[in-house]
Structure 1
């Protein structure tokens, strides 16, 4: 593999070559996987998608942060830091098999 990350086209080509399946079919499977992830993480889904052995993708709610007084580290002046609303964030957790691949 090269030093640069693979592009979507390169990934499709590699999967087609390694599996012996047509590139068009691999592309369709990738689109279906994308749709499945979207459904799982959507409003009506469970909010979690697991790719067995590789990763777990989950929607978490980050708590609202109240306004507070901070300090400018360069000047030492007090500054007002505005409040932040609660928001949903995507968390991706590497599972055992993926962790073992990099160690």
Structure 2
């Protein structure tokens, strides 16, 4: 399911316009991205959680040359499935 299919499905269930649903979904992800950028955790209990994680610096290899390189520390987004989402995936 892609975003347009998701918007159509939610609009059909909630009897809202697809435009309103699309704006709501966009706003949701903007809020989540902003919160994660600040280092906050966003959690919808039982369904999903989003948080910022830190990756430490490490050494790696350039696959083309085999040369050892230093990979700097960085921050990344971590997404975890909750128990209800995991149960739905199992069928």
Normalising TM by the smaller chain, what interval? 0.7 to 0.9
Q: Give me the whole-angstrom Cα distance separating, in 2, the residues matched to 1:33 and 1:48.
A: 14
Consecutive unaligned residues of structure 1, counting only runs of 5 or more, are 1-5, 69-78
Q: CA deviation at 1:88?
A: 1.0
Partner of 1:9: 4
Q: What's the C-alpha RMSD, in Å, of the aligned pairs?
A: 1.9
Partner of 1:53: 46
Number of residues paired by the alignment? 86
Residues 16-49 of structure 1 deviation map (CA, whole Å, 9 limit, x = unaligned): 001111111111211210121122112xx34322
Moved over 2 A (4+): none
TM-score with structure 2 setting the length: 0.80
Q: Give me the whole-angstrom Cα distance separating, in 2, the residues matched to 1:30 and 1:38.
A: 12
